[in-house]
Amino acid sequence: MFENKNSRTELSDLGEFGLISHLAANIKSKNLKTIKGIGDDCAVIDRGDHFELVTCDLLLEGVHFDLSFYPLKHLGYKAVMVNLSDIYAMNGTPERIVVGLGLSNRFSLEAGEELYEGMLLACDRHNVDLVGGDTTSSRSGLVLSVTAIGSVAKESVVYRSGAAENDLICVSGDLGAAFAGLQILNREKKVFIENPNIQPDLSGFDYAVERQLKPEARKDIVGALKSNDVVPTSMIDISDGLASELFHICVASSKGCRIYEDKIPIDVETVAIAEELNINPTVAALNGGEDYELLFTIRQSDFEKVKAITGVSVIGYVTAESAGLALIDKSEHETPLKAQGWDGLKMRQE
């Protein structure tokens, strides 16, 4: 009614990263203690003897989750995990979260309790306090906003921007399973919609479904790096897929990279699901997202130390920027990588 419509640029033309960098372009930190603002997994604030880390993630119904197959307890758990993962990606320790929760009247108190149960379980496992928040009604879907606060020793903070030429590229766990699990859940949902008498059949897909519904932030990897005396040169968590995160590290570090297809860790169940659904498992790993594993680079001199850590794979190395980003496939062909990670401004779920 009082709207002022001038020029109009569609958000879908920009994509999530385009929007963020456009909006962030005008933002300058006024406060000297703000070491790092927008542009990494967390904001970094100087607290004298240590750095404080702050990160925020919004989870919206219909975009980030589908309540028809998402148990609320799992959703609460995941909402916390995706934030803790950002703190670990800075090599930090999460300490506290605050939660904004928008519930519509279709939810009951018991539903709210289930959500909180999941959040508190995640907090317990990571020794984090839920210290506050805001609960309100929502006219549309369920809205979950989690802000996590953590800390890191000043000499241990790891940004996206520190990768150097010839550093080794490492990844924790395995990739693509959360994406494969989502495909299975979506398939079973379709079956269920067509015939509500048929119960969802998830047998044989336990691992992939759990990776989608109940991801674990890699506290253990950050701990193992520390106890093996390794500070990565750069790090990021894998929320949007390996390719997209490699781009973030390479752009922030002004570098290129080579990764080897046969070194990318993919679970056998993911491979089986991918074959069944006629998806290339490497594409699931590169572009699927929601793995919440850690992608990091290390100096070559740290290779032996990292080799001692269970569940870390070396998948490639950092090159000069001019070499670009490429995947060396199983037949030794080099293909340029594309950052087609999930675009938050298009819709994820069907």
190 is an interface residue for a copy of itself by CB under 8 A: no
The verdict on 46 binding a copy of itself (CB under 8 A) reads no
Smallest separation, CB 216 to a copy of itself (Å): 19
Find all residues with CB under 8 Å of 107, minimum gap 6, and list them.
Answer: 142
**Nearest approach, Cβ of 125 to a copy of itself (angstroms)?**
11
Write down the least CB distance from residue 31 to a copy of itself, Å: 5
12 binds a copy of itself (CB under 8 A): yes
Binding of a copy of itself by 198 (CB under 8 A)? no
Q: Which stretch binds a copy of itself (CB under 8 A): 104-112, 244-252, 271-279, 317-325?
A: 104-112
Provide DSSP, 144-161.
Answer: EEEEEEEEE-GGG---GG
Q: Which of 49, 155, 194, 350 binds a copy of itself (CB under 8 A)?
A: 49
Assign 3-class secondary structure to 259-316.
Answer: EEHHHCCCCHHHHHHHHHCCCCHHHHHHHCCCCCCEEEEECHHHHHHHHCCCCEEEEE
In three-state secondary structure terms, 8 is coil
* Token digits of residue 26: 């005008």
The reply on whether position 195 binds a copy of itself by CB under 8 A is: no
Are 80 and 128 in contact by the 8 Å Cβ rule? The answer is yes
Q: Which is nearer to a copy of itself, 149 or 230 (CB)?
A: 149
**139 three-state secondary structure:** coil
| 192 contacts a copy of itself (rule: CB under 8 A) | yes
What type of residue sits at position 60? L
Q: Does the footprint of a copy of itself cover residue 129 (CB under 8 A)? A: yes
- Counting residues that bind a copy of itself (by CB under 8 A) gives 91
Kindly state the smallest distance separating residue 315's Cβ from a copy of itself, in Å: 27
Which residue spans within 114-205 are E strands per DSSP?
Answer: 129-137, 143-152, 168-172
Interface pick for a copy of itself out of 69, 179, 205, 292 (rule CB under 8 A)? 69
Pairing of β 43-46 and β 34-36: antiparallel
Residue whose CB is less far from a copy of itself, 21 or 254: 21
> CB of 314: closest distance to a copy of itself in angstroms?
30
DSSP β-bridge partners for residue 146: 57, 99
- Is 187 among the residues that bind a copy of itself (CB under 8 A)? no
Q: How far is the CB of 116 from a copy of itself (least distance, A)?
A: 5
Q: Which of residues 288-307 bind a copy of itself (CB under 8 A)?
A: none
Based on CB atoms, which residue is closest to a copy of itself, 8 or 330? Answer: 8
Stretch that binds a copy of itself, among 129-137, 245-253, 270-278, 331-339 (CB under 8 A): 129-137
Q: Is 34 in the site for a copy of itself (CB under 8 A)?
A: yes
Candidate ranges 100-108, 170-178, 228-236, 268-276; the one touching a copy of itself (CB under 8 A)? 100-108
As measured in angstroms, the least distance from the Cβ of 349 to a copy of itself is: 9
Q: What is the CA radius of gyration of the chain?
A: 20
Amino acid letter, 42? C
- Write the single-letter amino acid at 164: A
The yes or no reply on residue 197 touching a copy of itself (CB under 8 A) is no
Report in angstroms how near the CB of residue 24 gets to a copy of itself at its nearest: 9
Side-chain half-sphere of 91: how many Cα atoms within 13 Å?
26
Number of other residues whose CB lies within 10 A of the CB of residue 209: 23
In angstroms, the first-to-last Cα distance of the chain is 33
Report how far residue 3's alpha carbon sits from residue 116's, in angstroms, rounded to the nearest whole number: 39
Task: Indicate which single residue of 85, 89, 90, 102 sits in contact with a copy of itself (rule: CB under 8 A).
Answer: 102
Q: Would you count residue 252 as binding a copy of itself (CB under 8 A)?
A: no
Contacts of 242 (CB under 8 A, 6+ apart): 171, 175, 259, 264, 285, 286, 287, 291, 295
